[in-house]
Amino acid sequence: MDKTISSSGQNIETPIDQERYALVLKWSARIGLFSILFTFFIYISGLISPVIPLERLPRLWVKSSTLLNESFGIATGWGWMSLIFKSDMMAKAALTFLACVPILCYLSVLPIYIKKKEIAMVFIVVMEISILILAASGLLKVE
């Protein structure tokens, strides 16, 4: 455990799981933010062609995502990954990475809980990861 000194002058120990979670969160959030900025720059600069042209985007915002996807031949669910070499889909991938950061954080602390035999925490972390992956999978649909 890392010892830090609080504003009151007392030594406070930071548990290793909190340190690991915070470190993974810090770096993956930075990578995600940089990726979003970089891919957005690629999109607006026109360096790589998009699926949906930037100049048409404002008129398309009023349409449903289903209609928009059908209009441009974008597959539903994770089907957009087949268009990953288009600039707007690169930006979507960067956003998707950022949305997956909590899963990465949970995965980083899971070995700590397993090693310490903290069964309740292992169960909670596995359930959190499972629920987040299930939600991202598109298997559950709300109509």
Q: Encode pLDDT of 96-136 as tens digits.
A: 999 999 999 999 999 999 999 999 999 999 999 999 999 88
**Residue 142: inside a domain:** no
Could you list the residue range(s) of the whole structural domain that residue 103 is in? 2-137
From 87, 108, 91, 103, select the one nearest 136 (Cα to Cα). Answer: 103
pTM of the model as a whole: 0.80
* 34 is a domain residue: yes
**Residue 22 maps to a domain:** yes
* pLDDT at residue 115, as a whole number: 97
Does a structural domain hold residue 30? yes
> Greatest CA span in the chain, whole angstroms?
62
Q: Using H for helix, E for strand and C for coil, what is the string for 44-70?
A: HHCCCCCCCCHHHHHHHCCCCHHHHHH
